[in-house]
Amino acid sequence: MTEPAPTPSIPAPEAIRFEHVSVRFGGVRALDDVSFSVGCGEVHCLAGENGSGKSTLIKVIAGVYQAQPGARTDYFGESVAAPTPQLARRKGVAVIWQDLALFPEMTVAENIAFDGLVGAPRLVNYRAIRETARTALAKLGVQLDLSAPLKSLPISGRQLVAIARALASDAKLVFMDEPTASLTQTETDHLLGVVRTLSASGVAVVFVSHRLAEVLDVSSRVTVLRDGRLVGVFEAEGMTQSRLTELMTGKRFDHAVTARDVGDAPVVLETSDLTRQGEYSDVNLTVRAGEVVGLIGLIGAGRTEVAHTLFGMSRANSGSIRLSGAPVAFTSNREAIAAGIGYVSEDRLALGLIQPQSIADNTVITTLKRISDASGLISEAKKSAAVAKGIGEFAIKIGLPDDAVSTLSGGNQQRVVLAKWLATSPRLLILDCPTVGVDVGARDGIYKIIRGLAERGIAILMISDEVHEVYFNSDRILHMAGGRIVAEYDPRRTSIAELERAVYA
Amino acid sequence: MRDYLRTHQGEMRLLVVLAALTIYLGIASPIFLSAGNLASLLNNNAVNVIWAVGLLVVLIAGGIDISFAVGASVAQYLTALALISIGGGNWFFGLVFAGIFGIAIGCINAALIAGFRIISIVVTIATFNALFGLLMFMTSGKSIYDLPDWWTDRVAVASLGTGGALTLPVAGMVAAMAATWFLISRTTIGRQIYAFGDNPEGARRAGVATVKMQFIAYGWTGLMAGIGGLMQVNLAQEVVPNALIGRELDVLAAVVLGGARLGGGRGSVLGCFLGVMLVAIVQNGLNLLGVSPYAFKMLIGLTILAAISLSNFDLGALLTGGSRRRGHVDNH
Amino acid sequence: MSTITERLRRVLGPDVLGLLGLFGITVVAFGLTTPHFLSAGNFDSIGFQLPDLGLLTLAMLAPIVSGGINLAVIATANLSGLTLAWILNMNGGPQAGVVPFVIGVVAALAVGGASGAAMGVTIAYFGAHPILASLAMMIFLKGLGEFLTRGGDISGFPAFLGQLGHGVILGVPVPMLVFTAAAILWHVLLARTRHGFAVAMIGSNPRASDYSGIPVKRSLTLIYTLSGMMCAVAGILMLTEFNSVRVGHGEALLLVTVLACFLGGVDPNGGFGRVAPVFVSLLILQTLSSGLNLLGANQHLATAVWGLFLIAVMVFRYAASLRRRGLFNTIRK
């Protein structure tokens, strides 16, 4: 594969210039001769898969990790031999981690001015705290209630607080780790507006993400990492998500569209005018046996909310759901499971699996009755058989079935989730972002499994915010936005670019 | 003030309940609002409030301390022995000894919790048993009655009216409340303790010295345990090694009732005072209304059960069929 | 040899062998230093003292596995004992027959179960913190007992109850038999039933359990109900042993039950806890106490040693986990 020539047009003056950065953990080379530079006031994207080294690079710049000797580490034109976290912060580098690291019970003002509270013990000057917070928010051009507890703000508000906190400590270079992951479209738009303001006032912003289509507009350049190495620096102008994915993975996605026509296979799921106040409205969708229906939409589009209702975890205000023709109105997800519905949550860590518990227990949790013997007790033999079947069927790579499920990689964890739902012999599987947190190499395996399940006649509703994912792996694509299904596409008659435009625009 | 109302809804709710209770009891019983009754309410609950504000700091830091009442007993006993050995001493020496012994016990807890990453409830249940067993074993359960006069003399520090003398423990309570309020609200250390309890990982990343904060929190609880023990002698006129056992759970209930959160990040000095006083006033009111004293505990238990059920009850969630609030993570 | 240890480890769980070793060391140490330690009389006294603490510890164990705690175990046991005592007294006290006793036992179990259920509902449906809910329940139940008994004790029970409390079958004290049966029942409940499975899952992550179709609220209510019934068994046994019931009886055992659970490797954060290691840790605690007793120390020193012992075990576990992590790191390197 030929690499496109990196574009060396660097806006001057520079905020940071790092060259020949290598980092080793034990025998593992996390970063290998990587160079990275950002201009003052530039909006830059740092792209890479999980494990590509992007978080290591941020930590080197933030002074948390030390690069091996021989690296050039310049902050604002000044060479710093051995950066420390304190030093990097003083130089004006701030990192906004994905979890924001804020304090929900404390006020907005204290959260913004928190860095001023750390250090040698002294009295708290609440007036100064409010002043600091007000100034920082003014720089962002937003107004927030300074004395509201942080927990009363929506995620987007908290993100603004995190940015204001960075500005309060005079940051001139702000890293944002996966900033749009939990934002709705409007919130993302607002964030981008804020980023433009920052950029105009000379603050450089680096978006760190594996999904950058939303932020490419406001960015000038993209640095791509893969396996700890620099792939290149590219102009953001004209970059697409598909191109970026290719660069990040090093694989040319010669994926063929797998869509097929299931013809008049029996309808498994049918909703009519399903509405839940404030979440989604007039949702009409059908999924036939053996069909993979992709439901694409950005966060806040109402896709997960629809899934929750289908899975019996919330109730629609109006409209109806039919399962294989019979109307259903679940009062709990246990009824939905009994009726043959499985739901793979988008939040595998918190909701999909019980992380500290064993692989075996996580595999059989949905089918306890089936692994019980006549006395009603759980049969060790039946349990082992069920676990072996699940592990074997999906070729899950494990140590021992009794190991905690948290010891598995993302891809293997997702296979455990699929195994636990397949064990219930479902007729409908709802997959909510089935490859989130799964490495690209492992994704194809998951897609093959999904296709295999469909071929067994299971109806599959695949929710996703990645066009790539639904385009190549669905038979039909529904586009959801603003709580409504706004369009339907056939991958065989639509180009991926067309779909990307529709979804991300 | 408006901001305070918003960030301290639990305290405000408690204040309203307490005010309603006070008005009702004031009308129902002529004695309730008398100077004598109010003074004895404060005198008898001052020690609990001192312990409550001590425990509060550990709860804010996200921990729990079951051992403080035993710690108070140990500090009390050691202080008595130390004072006797120096020939009686005075309040200054008493405070220094009780404070030092209390802080030392708190620091043992902190060292085990922070040093060996053992969860605080396990550590403090272990130190509870170890300290209590050792205290009873070493002292053979013997009480000390021959105490310096300054320690046991009733000192009126203020008066609410005829027969309404407030004694030294109340002064101790006011001082403990003021000091704790100053620590947690006015110093950067206090704010860092709140932050640590609220989001330990976030605090660590922001550069909070987390081990130091835990030592300060448990040390403060120990200090207050020691001072509370010292004041309790002034009230009881004797040092009985097993007299304070069991008080830890009552105080814990009162503090949590006062709005502190098990799990950290929330709680206030005012809430502690209100929580202790709610329990005390319910009991006092039942007494004045002629309810059998044997029913007190039962009714107090019911009051707490009702209070926690109501404060946790999400009517909205029930009406919408248990829909989950998004963006809200419950720490179980 | 290694396969035998491996099999034992599988059956008993990883913590049991270490604890059994500790138990062995304790027994040998006292056996060598203390003249009457290995006498039948001493083992008998252990057999009579262990069951009360043991049953209460079982009642504490299940809620801890579910991610909570039950601080009302002693209060529930005493109130259940009172129920039985009351029914016996209504039916002639010392002259009461077997039928009132059986009715009384059923009533005691019902009272224990109802107390636990009320607590479970407060925790599961109202979302109250288990420490607070069970603490309030403890204060309430204790108060209810005080109200009903006016702070006094109830005694004067039929003589056959003494047979239960002090009897010996095939050389084994009856209370020990009751406790062993309860422990086996509890082991089956936690390790083999669907309910026990659900409780462990909820203890680790209630929301993920809910998403997997586990009836979280119902399971939590049920486990506190069962915990309350186990308290009732303890209360009944205590009645037969002491031939009297009193509200504050056995309060010192409350935190010891928690201590025994932690010593037995129960995860304070919930999700993990097995009966077998807790059983062994109870044996260790009781042996320590009996041995010290024979050496002339009193129960208080034993309490202190229990506390210090728990600290030592936790520090040891921490050191072991560090070593494991260190090993893991070198393997990765």
When pLDDT is cut at 50, 70 and 90, the band that residue C8 belongs to is low
Q: Check whether residue A436 and residue A500 sit in a common domain.
A: yes
- Residue A384 touches partner C, C-beta closer than 8 Å: no
When pLDDT is cut at 50, 70 and 90, the band that residue B77 belongs to is very high
Q: Does the pLDDT value for residue B328 go beyond 70?
A: no
Q: Check whether residue A334 and residue A471 sit in a common domain.
A: yes
When pLDDT is cut at 50, 70 and 90, the band that residue C223 belongs to is very high
When pLDDT is cut at 50, 70 and 90, the band that residue B76 belongs to is very high
Q: How many CA atoms lie within 13 A of A344 on its CB side?
A: 28
Q: What is the mean pLDDT of residues A63-84?
A: 86
User: Greatest CA span in chain C, whole angstroms?
Assistant: 76
**Rounded CA gap, B253 and B247, in Å?**
10
Q: Which of A361, A366, A377 lies at the smallest CB-CB distance from C193?
A: A377
Assigned token pair, C321: 């986990």
Res B326: pLDDT? 32
Q: Which of A124, A151, A350 lies at the smallest CB-CB distance from B188?
A: A124
Distance from CA of C304 to the nearest CA of A (A): 33
Q: Check whether residue A315 and residue A446 sit in a common domain.
A: yes
Q: Does the pLDDT value for residue C2 go beyond 70?
A: no
Q: Check whether residue A234 and residue A364 sit in a common domain.
A: no
Q: What is the mean pLDDT of residues C180-205?
A: 96
- CB burial readout B126-164, b (16+ within 10 A) else e: bbbbbbbbbbbbebeeeebeebbeebeeeeeeeeeeeeb
Q: What is the mean pLDDT of residues B198-225?
A: 93
- C151 to chain B: which residues are within 8 Å by CB? 294
Is residue A253 in a domain? no
Quote the domain boundaries for residue A209. Answer: 13-83+204-247
User: Greatest CA span in chain A, whole angstroms?
Assistant: 77
**Contacting partners of chain B (3+ CB pairs under 8 A):** A, C
Q: Does the pLDDT value for residue B84 go beyond 60?
A: yes
Q: What is the ipTM of this complex?
A: 0.85
Delineate the domains of chain B, giving CATH numbers in brackets.
35-306 (1.10.3470)
Q: Check whether residue A431 and residue A503 sit in a common domain.
A: yes
Q: Does the pLDDT value for residue A395 go beyond 90?
A: no
Q: What is the mean pLDDT of residues B267-290?
A: 92
Average predicted confidence (pLDDT) for chain C: 86
- A149 to chain B: which residues are within 8 Å by CB? 6-7
Q: Check whether residue A326 and residue A367 sit in a common domain.
A: no
Q: Check whether residue A410 and residue A430 sit in a common domain.
A: no
Is residue A218 in a domain? yes
Res A236: pLDDT? 87
When pLDDT is cut at 50, 70 and 90, the band that residue B329 belongs to is very low
Q: Check whether residue A307 and residue A437 sit in a common domain.
A: yes
Euclidean distance between the first and the last CA atom of chain B, given in angstroms as a whole number = 32
Q: Does the pLDDT value for residue B231 go beyond 80?
A: yes
The percent of chain B in helix, strand and coil, each rounded to the nearest 5, is 70, 5, 25
Q: Check whether residue A385 and residue A495 sit in a common domain.
A: no
Res C12: pLDDT? 59
User: Which residues 114-133 in chain A show a CB within 8 A of chain B?
Assistant: 114-115, 117-119, 121-124
Q: Check whether residue A447 and residue A493 sit in a common domain.
A: yes
* Whether B321 and A315 lie within 8 Å, measured CB to CB: yes
- Residue A345 touches partner C, C-beta closer than 8 Å: yes
Assigned token pair, A390: 């699940």
Residues 6+ apart with CB under 8 A from A176: A96, A163, A205, A206, A207, A208
Is residue A44 in a domain? yes
Residues 6+ apart with CB under 8 A from C111: C79, C80, C83, C232
Structural domains counted in chain A: 3
Q: What whole-number percentage of chain A has pLDDT above 90? A: 47
Q: Which of B7, B207, B323 lies at the smallest CB-CB distance from A107?
A: B7
* Whether A97 and B198 lie within 8 Å, measured CB to CB: no
Is residue A324 in a domain? yes
Nearest CA in chain B to A154: B327
Is residue A121 in a domain? no
Among A403, A425, A447, which residue terminates a domain?
A425
Q: Does the pLDDT value for residue C322 go beyond 60?
A: yes
Q: What is the mean pLDDT of residues A340-362?
A: 92
Res A211: pLDDT? 64
Q: Check whether residue A318 and residue A211 sit in a common domain.
A: no
- Residue A420 touches partner C, C-beta closer than 8 Å: yes
Q: Does the pLDDT value for residue A239 go beyond 90?
A: no
**Rounded CA gap, B208 and B192, in Å?**
7
- A315 to chain B: which residues are within 8 Å by CB? 320-321, 323
Q: Check whether residue A289 and residue A409 sit in a common domain.
A: no
* Whether B202 and A315 lie within 8 Å, measured CB to CB: no
Instruction: Check if the beta carbon of residue A146 is closer than 8 Å to that of residue A108.
Output: yes
Q: How far is CA A65 from CA A88, A100, A228, A306, C131, in A?
A: 11, 20, 15, 43, 41
When pLDDT is cut at 50, 70 and 90, the band that residue C328 belongs to is very low
> What confidence tens digit (pLDDT) does each residue in A110-151 have?
999 998 898 888 999 999 999 999 999 888 778 889 999 998
> What confidence tens digit (pLDDT) does each residue in C75-134 have?
999 999 999 999 998 888 788 888 999 999 999 999 999 999 999 999 999 888 898 899
Among A394, A425, A456, which residue terminates a domain?
A425
* Whether A351 and C272 lie within 8 Å, measured CB to CB: no
Q: What is the mean pLDDT of residues A354-364?
A: 94
Q: What whole-number percentage of chain C has pLDDT above 70? A: 90
Delineate the domains of chain C, giving CATH numbers in brackets.
15-328 (1.10.3470)
Residues 6+ apart with CB under 8 A from A505: none
Q: Which of A350, A357, A377 lies at the smallest CB-CB distance from C200?
A: A357
Is residue A90 in a domain? no
Instruction: Check if the beta carbon of residue A299 is closer than 8 Å to that of residue A465.
Output: yes
